[in-house]
Amino acid sequence: MSTVTDILTAAGGPEIIAKRLPRKVSKSGGKVDRVSTVYKWKKLGIPERHWPLLMKLSEEITLERLFEANRHARGEKMPRKRKAEAAREAA
């Protein structure tokens, strides 16, 4: 199973990812701490708008892994795989 931590590690770590994120300004006019934003993904899941960036940073990161990691971070249960599907993936 993939977790958000696994994804962040594969992409080079929160600091590397944060440097690649677009700069944002908060509603109050201050700068947004992008490193803190990336660390929050561990609890909130990775926003889908950032998935293309993460897939560019590592070939290990796929849509399936991102989807699985987000479901895990958000506490959603993964559907059980059928025995036939599990056998095919193991082969």
Per-residue pLDDT for 35 more than 80? yes
Calpha distance 5→73 (Å, rounded): 10
- For the ranges 20-29, 45-54, 80-89, the maximum mean pLDDT occurs at 45-54
Distances (CA, A) of 59 to 7, 28, 30, 76, 77: 11, 37, 34, 25, 26
Calpha distance 73→82 (Å, rounded): 23
Per-residue pLDDT, 14: 95
pTM equals 0.74
Q: Of 2, 5, 8, whose CA–CA distance to 51 is shortest?
A: 8
Q: Provide the residue count of the chain.
A: 91
